[in-house]
Copies of this chain bind each other. A is one copy, B any other.
Amino acid sequence: MGKKYIRETYANDVSFTIEVEQHLHSEKSRFQQIDFYQTETFGTVFTLDDLIMVTEKDEFIYHDMICHPAFAVNPNIKRVLIIGGGDGGTAREVLRYPIEALDMVEIDERVVRLCQQFLPLTASSFDSDNRFNLLFANGLEFVANAKTGAYDLIIVDSTDPIGPGEGLFTAEFYRNCYRCLNDSGILINQHESPFYTRDCREMVRAHSKLKKTFPIARIYQFHMPTYPSGHWLFGFAAKSLDPVQDFKPAEWGSFNLQTKYYNLDLHPAAFMLPTYLKEILKGVK
């Protein structure tokens, strides 16, 4: 308690620092170190194991991009599973759609309870909604036991692949996700970043597993200022729907949703990757 700086290391010799106005809370749960800070530029900042997860200033970018592209490819998504996502931001965006059911499986109840206390901007989604079923369980085990074809969309909103999120980056996990999705099913996952060596290695690992499991495994990018390098990726994997060819702008438009980062011009654009990234991905087996 009482930290004066949030300092995140991007490489041995590279770091990003935010001055702390007030260290709001610090707690070691069964799974991880959880902290909340008050800062001038970013408002509330939430970290897990000293890695920045959510800031009030730029969370809209991440949560727009993890949710809306899938609904613009399959506007009939009705049954959604979120793995992780304990801050509530992903659920908040998903619940804006006329879905029937959202299951969310978060391993660490303390993350949810503390976000309810310190980060209502995202955690407001935990307020009562009949469609929302929140479980505190292991995501890996949950998908292993879930019904075949049960979901239209699975969003893996996990921490980085070190710590409690680690199991979520295994081949077995992705195979179970594939099984739990119906024929038009889509999986969105954290896909790290191509720039710094550590992130790039994890990007390659994640992509390799997706590529082996799903016939369609694309990547899209967005500008996320508080993640390493600001160049962050999500994976879009699917059984039959291509995120660009099967993009349905008019149908998404009819949802009439206001968004702050995502828009219909940006959707196909986000899948157009720089050459150096395409070349890394081309080499992934």
Contacts and interface: CB of A to CB of B under 8 A. Distances in A.
Given A17-B14, A260-B275, A275-B261, A225 B266 contact: no
Interface residues of A, number: 45
A229 B221 contact: no
Interface in A12-45: 12-19, 21, 39-42
A61 interface: yes
Contacts of A182: none
A265 interface: yes
A230 interface: yes
Interface in A229-285: 229-231, 259-263, 265-266, 268-276, 278
B18 A17 contact: no
Which of A195, A197, A261, A268 counts the most chain B CB atoms within 10 A? A195
Given A13-B39, A15-B16, A230-B231, 20 more contacts: A12-B40, A12-B41, A14-B18, A14-B19, A41-B197, A60-B276, A61-B274, A195-B223, A196-B225, A221-B223, A223-B223, A223-B229, A224-B230, A260-B274, A261-B274, A263-B272, A265-B272, A266-B273, A266-B274, A269-B272
